[in-house]
């Protein structure tokens, strides 16, 4: 479903991604872990065209996308739904208008169908009946789920999560991670989750990829990662209860 071939991304004289190679299969849940500044979020932003690689290729659903024009990339963003670190909702709009925003931008749908799709998306994230509320009336965790519903309304094949549990309490963190797993299985989407939470990764990932200084230093199933002798992986595992 997604393949990165020799991906390089530079910012001035700093190289953030250093020839990264990675293949992600259809339906897989892949957690990308690493310390801050190691290129995790940069990888996602290159995937959806918010940034463009300096070298290498990105293949999505059988198509090389890294050299597409901005207009051509709209179709890629339709199948790649990105959920950002912060909810980024429009405070002046209702939940309904927030979730409907992408539908109105990408499609010309009758209002009745938009209302149906919004309701379905909110039900998927376990928030039925909140359409008329404003973001300020919701908890931060609920706002995160509304943001996810906005992405799901477009029915993407791929879900990209950038630090989805940042600033959440442990109970809400667990709920959000369970929701990621539930949606990935139920909707049969391919999911990439950028995180630094090894506990969550071990619990729901099919595969864990560990980045360090722009390179992949370890990858494997949760069982394989538990047995890794890579020092950075050991540091992450040290935070995991026995």
Which parts of 61-189 are beta strand (E)?
Answer: 63-64, 80-83, 158-162
Q: What is the DSSP letter of 136?
A: G
Query: pLDDT (tens digit, 9 = 90+) per residue, 188-239?
Result: 999 999 998 899 899 999 999 999 999 999 999 999 999 999 999 999 999 8
Distance CA 174, CA 200 (A): 8
Quote the pTM value. Answer: 0.90
Q: Would you call 190 helix, strand, or coil by DSSP?
A: strand
CA distance 94 to 42: 31
Q: What pLDDT is recorded for position 171?
A: 84
Q: Given this model, what pLDDT does residue 174 score?
A: 86
For residues 164 and 31, what is the distance between their CA atoms, to the nearest angstrom?
Answer: 11
Distance (Å) of CA 98 to CA 49, 72, 104, 108, 143: 22, 25, 10, 16, 11
pLDDT tens sequence across 51-82: 999 999 999 999 999 999 988 888 888 899 98
Residue 156 has φ and ψ, to the nearest 5°, of -75, 155
Domains observed in the chain? 2-237 (3.40.50.300)
Average pLDDT value over all residues in the chain: 91
- Choose among 39, 7, 45, 34: nearest CA to 23: 7
């Amino acid at each position: 479903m997604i393949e990165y071939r020799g991906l390089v991304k530079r910012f001035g004289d700093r190289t953030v991604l250093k020839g990264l190679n990675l293949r992600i299969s259809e339906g897989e849940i892949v957690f990308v872990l690493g310390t801050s500044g190691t290129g995790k979020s940069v990888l996602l932003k290159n995937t959806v065209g918010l940034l463009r690689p300096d070298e290498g290729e990105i293949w999505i659903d059988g198509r090389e996308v890294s050299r597409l024009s901005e207009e051509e990339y709209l179709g890629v963003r339709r199948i790649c739904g990105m959920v950002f670190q912060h909810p980024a909702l429009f405070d002046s709009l209702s939940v309904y208008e927030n979730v409907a925003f992408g539908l109105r931008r990408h499609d010309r749908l009758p209002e009745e169908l938009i209302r149906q799709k919004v309701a379905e998306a909110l039900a998927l994230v376990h928030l039925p009946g909140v359409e008329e509320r404003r973001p300020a009336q919701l908890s931060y965790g609920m706002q995160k789920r509304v943001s996810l519903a906005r992405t799901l309304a477009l029915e993407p094949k791929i879900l990209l999560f950038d630090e989805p549990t940042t600033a959440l309490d442990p109970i809400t963190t667990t709920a959000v991670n369970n929701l990621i797993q539930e949606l990935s299985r139920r909707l049969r989407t391919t999911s990439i989750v950028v995180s630094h939470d090894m506990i969550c990764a071990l619990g729901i990932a099919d595969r864990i990829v560990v980045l360090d200084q722009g390179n992949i230093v370890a990858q494997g199933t949760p069982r394989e990662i538990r047995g890794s002798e890579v020092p950075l992986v050991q540091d992450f595992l040290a935070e995991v209860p026995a």
